């Protein structure tokens, strides 16, 4: 950022730090202003996360009560039926089964998910608190260092790093990608009967990728060499997917008639395993997750649910795809038919709207862990990166010239520094390396 760049620009030809004047070396005033503006933002991020943990615990306790009440009623109804002595043994076996079932039930799965989400929020609170302390201390020491240029330079350098980290944590890094290369990989397997249509993809931390093959009604696991290594079938068309923990995804499965579900799938060492399922009255065409909140879109609304499936709120929009910013303060929604990208505050207020000739028929929006926003234009055959705040187009990352013929979905893998483009009826995914 500014200060360090300033030093090297102003001190061209100077090899020793001591040859620079303090003013040339670092713009301490600017640095101090930057710190003063970022500290309250970090504080509010921390407060936000503390509120999230509380609301997560509350919704979990409500869910737990419902499940326990259901079990109590079931046991009561069994007790009511038993009158004779010899039925007692059978009854005790039945109750044993109910309890065993309960232990394996969705409650346990949810408990694991909630623990995971809670731990990850707690970790980011710790990180955020530490960052605030470090920045305050560095701020103080820069003021006190006085004329010792070497020390001042080192302190400012550290400060720049911390500021950059803070911007990343706040989802404001604004890094623009540069494309480095591309490759195409087939995801068709021997028993697929249709051309694969990849409606969504998700990158795992170890570099593997999950893809949804809508035409063949499958979820496929792709390894680091982009070979399909495992698959599992779903009951209707898999339309969208998001990560809920580091090794679990929620898949929107719908047939537009009578199946409207969110199917949870876990990625084990080498296999995919279907888990619990949530069923809805409305269609489930896209899904996004952020710290225990599950966002599900029908064609006419965006619903916010808890992980247990309890409705929290509803917004009337026309979504074709949705995504949430890393800290949950912004929702991104694409409208395929009106060719636009909406940026909403978490209460639904429209913050920005993007329409651009280079982005027609958007089918998917994806947010990277650092908060960068990628949109897939199906009709314009483009992948564009959009500014996360004002929804301005930053750069067109790939076009039909790069074999993006029928793009339908996009996701970013930090592990392989590349984004993966899923295509419509093409059998291949494109992997575009970026920096
Ligand atoms: C299709 O092939 C995969 C392995 O490539 C296998 O796991 C799956 O059971 C097969 N499905 C059917 C319906 O044969
Ligand atoms: C997939 O798209 C590529 C161009 O990106 C094209 O060369 C190839 O023929 C297409 N495959 C199918 C099966 O349509």
Structure-block tokens of residue 132: 């605030």
Cα of 422 to ligand 2 centre, how many Å? 12
Give nearest CA residue, ligand 1 atom 10: 191
Indicate whether 175 pLDDT > 70: yes
> What DSSP designation does 412 have?
E
pLDDT of residue 80: 72
Q: Is 231 in the pocket of ligand 1 (CB under 6 A)?
A: yes
For residue 52, report the distance from its CA to the centre of ligand 2, in Å. 45
Would you place residue 25 in the very low, low, confident or very high pLDDT band (cuts 50, 70, 90)?
low
% helix, strand, coil for the chain, step of 5: 35, 35, 30
- Give the predicted TM-score (pTM) of the model: 0.76
Q: 12 to each of 5, 6, 7, 155, how far by Cα in Å? A: 11, 10, 8, 21
Which ligand minimizes its atom distance to the CA of 272?
Answer: 1
Is there a contact between 433 and 421 (Cβ–Cβ < 8 Å)?
no
Choose the residue to mutate in 185, 426, 431 for probing ligand 2, maximizing ligand atoms within 8 Å of C-beta: 426
CATH of range 179-434; options 1.10.260.40, 2.120.10.30, 1.10.274.10, 3.30.930.10: 2.120.10.30
Q: Is the CB of 191 under 6 A from ligand 1?
A: yes
pLDDT tier at 13 (50, 70, 90 boundaries)?
very low
How far, in Å, from the CA of 431 to the mean position of ligand 2? 14
**Cα 191 to middle of ligand 1, angstroms:** 6
Q: How confident is the model at residue 85 (pLDDT cuts 50, 70, 90)?
A: low
* Strands (DSSP E) found in 226-301: 228-233, 237-245, 248-254, 260-267, 272-279, 286-290, 293-297
Residue 11 pLDDT > 70 = no
Domain boundaries, the chain: 2-169, 179-434
Is 428 near ligand 2, meaning CB less than 6 Å away? Answer: yes
- Six-digit token string for 178: 């540069």
**In which band, very low, low, confident or very high, does the pLDDT at 238 lie, cut at 50, 70 and 90?**
very high
What is the H or E stretch that residue 220 is in? Answer: strand 218-222
Q: Is 49 in the pocket of ligand 2 (CB under 6 A)?
A: no
Q: Tell me, in angstroms, the distance from the centre of ligand 1 to residue 427's CA.
A: 17
- Segment among 77-81, 391-395, 419-423 with least mean pLDDT: 77-81
Q: Decide: 198 and 409 in contact? Cβ < 8 Å.
A: yes
Q: Is 403 in the pocket of ligand 2 (CB under 6 A)?
A: yes
- Pick from 58-62, 106-110, 121-125, 321-325 the range whose average pLDDT is largest: 321-325
| Spatial CA neighbour of 346 closest among 25, 48, 63, 37 | 48
């Amino acid at each position: 950022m500014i200060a360090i760049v300033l030093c090297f620009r102003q001190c061209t030809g100077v090899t020793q730090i001591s040859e620079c004047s303090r003013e040339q070396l670092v713009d301490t005033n600017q640095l101090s202003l930057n710190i003063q503006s970022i500290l309250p933002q970090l504080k509010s991020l921390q407060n936000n996360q503390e509120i999230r943990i509380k609301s997560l615990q509350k919704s979990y306790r409500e869910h737990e009560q419902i499940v326990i009440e259901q079990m109590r009623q079931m046991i009561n109804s069994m007790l009511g039926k038993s009158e004779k002595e010899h039925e007692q043994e059978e009854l005790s076996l039945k109750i044993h089964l109910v309890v065993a079932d309960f232990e394996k039930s969705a409650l346990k799965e949810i408990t694991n998910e909630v623990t995971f989400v809670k731990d990850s929020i707690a970790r980011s609170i710790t990180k955020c608190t530490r960052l605030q302390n470090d920045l305050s201390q560095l701020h103080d020491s820069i003021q006190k260092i006085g004329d010792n240029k070497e020390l001042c330079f080192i302190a400012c350098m550290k400060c720049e790093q911390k500021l950059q980290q803070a911007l990343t944590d706040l989802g404001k890094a604004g890094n623009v990608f540069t494309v480095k290369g591309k490759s195409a990989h087939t995801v068709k397997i021997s028993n697929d009967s249709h051309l694969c249509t990849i409606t969504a993809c998700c990158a795992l931390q170890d570099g593997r990728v999950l893809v949804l093959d809508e035409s063949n009604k499958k979820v496929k696991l792709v390894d680091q060499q982009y070979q399909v290594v495992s698959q599992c079938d779903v009951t209707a068309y898999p339309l969208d997917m998001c990560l809920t923990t580091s090794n679990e995804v929620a898949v929107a499965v719908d047939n537009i008639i009578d199946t409207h579900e969110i199917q949870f799938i876990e990625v084990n060492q080498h296999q995919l395993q279907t888990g619990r399922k949530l069923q809805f009255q409305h269609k489930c065409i896209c899904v996004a997750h952020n710290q225990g909140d599950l966002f599900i879109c029908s064609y006419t609304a965006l619903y916010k649910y808890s992980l247990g499936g309890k409705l929290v709120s509803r917004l009337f929009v026309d979504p074709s795809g949705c995504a949430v910013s890393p800290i949950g303060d912004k929702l991104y929604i694409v409208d395929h038919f009106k060719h636009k990208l909406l940026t909403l505050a978490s209460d639904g207020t429209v913050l920005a709207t993007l329409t651009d000739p280079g982005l027609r028929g958007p089918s998917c929006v994806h947010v990277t862990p650092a908060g960068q926003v990628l949109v897939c234009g199906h009709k314009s055959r483009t992948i564009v990166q959009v500014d996360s705040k004002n929804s301005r187009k930053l750069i067109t990352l790939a076009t039909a010239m790069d074999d993006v013929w029928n793009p339908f979905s996009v996701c970013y893998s930090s592990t392989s520094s590349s984004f993966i483009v899923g295509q419509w009826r093409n059998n291949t995914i494109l992997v575009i390396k970026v920096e």
